[in-house]
Amino acid sequence: MTGCGSTPAGANPGGYRAAGGRELAYDAFRPIPALRIALGQGLAQVRGSSRVLERPCNVVRTGAPLGETIKKPTAAEYVDLCVDTTGVVLSQDWFLDHKQVEHMVAVAFEPGAAISSSDFAHDPSVAAPSQILALAGASSPLKDSDRAALVGKVDPPAGYRYDGGEVVFRGELGIQGANVSIEHYVNDSGSLLDVEHSDAGAAPIKGPAESVGHGHTAYLTLELGTSIVSLDASDGGVVTLRGDDPEMLLRVARTLR
| 1 domain-assigned | no
Dihedral in degrees, nearest 10, Cα atoms 36, 37, 39, 44: -100
Q: What is the pTM of this model?
A: 0.78
Same domain, residue pair 93 and 140: no
Question: DSSP H helical segments within 24-139, as ranges?
Answer: 32-40, 130-136
The count of structural domains within the chain is: 2
* Residue 81 lies in domain: 32-105
| 127 domain-assigned | no
Distance CA 182, CA 110 (A): 33
Give the tens place of pLDDT for each residue, 48-99: 999 999 999 999 999 999 889 999 999 999 999 999 999 999 999 999 999 9
Give the tens place of pLDDT for each residue, 89-106: 999 999 999 999 999 999
| 123 domain-assigned | no
Segment (H or E) for 101? strand 99-105
User: Which distant-in-sequence residues (6+ apart) come within 8 Å of 158 by Cβ?
Assistant: none
